Amino acid sequence: MSDARDTGGATSGATWRNNPSASASAQQAYDPWLQPELFRGVLTKRVFAFLIDLVVLAVPIVLAIIFITLFGVVTLGLGWFLFWLISPLSVIWALIYYGASLGGPHGATVGMRMMDIEMRTWTGDRPYFVLGAVHAVLYWVSVSFLTPLVLLVGLFNGRRRLLHDIVLGTVFINSNVRVPVVQTTRA
């Protein structure tokens, strides 16, 4: 990944992001061969976490639909014109939910926390808001355009990463397993 050479303490090359100081810390943090317990059962847990998150996302939307329906009855049908807001507000709500929860201190949505998994970058850092929101968008785009069969990618790699995880450089691990992150230090 990097072209750093030992030249008396300075790096002559740069990583692919042009950050010479990141060459030592840009090692992959989670190795499925050295730490298999981090990845044990992660795909199954992700399925159940996804279903829990769908319920969490659906509750406010259903409440909004009920409110607009009742408001339309009270206003003799005029309030039903608010139904056009449901679709864009659902997308905004999902982006905020995934961005805030994945980018939050736990690095996991409510469903992921219930299933004891969390998202990390491939270097071991916690995700941030934009990464969480883009992760959700890329998931829905990949499943929509490439069919749900694209999720089978997770069965064929050691870290159990899906296609959108690979593209974004993220990994999901068991959060209840406390294994020290393998870090390499430079002398």
Cβ density class 106-125: b for 16+ within 10 Å, e for less: ebbbbbbbebbbbbbbbbbe
Per-position pLDDT tens, the chain of length 187: 444 434 444 444 444 444 444 444 456 677 778 888 889 999 999 999 999 999 999 999 999 999 999 999 999 999 999 999 999 999 999 999 999 999 999 999 999 999 999 999 988 899 999 999 999 999 999 999 988 888 899 999 888 899 999 999 999 999 988 756 555 555 5
Domain limits of the chain?
32-174
- What is the pLDDT at residue 147? 85
- What is the pLDDT at residue 15? 42
- Whether the full predicted model's pTM is greater than 0.85, yes or no, is no
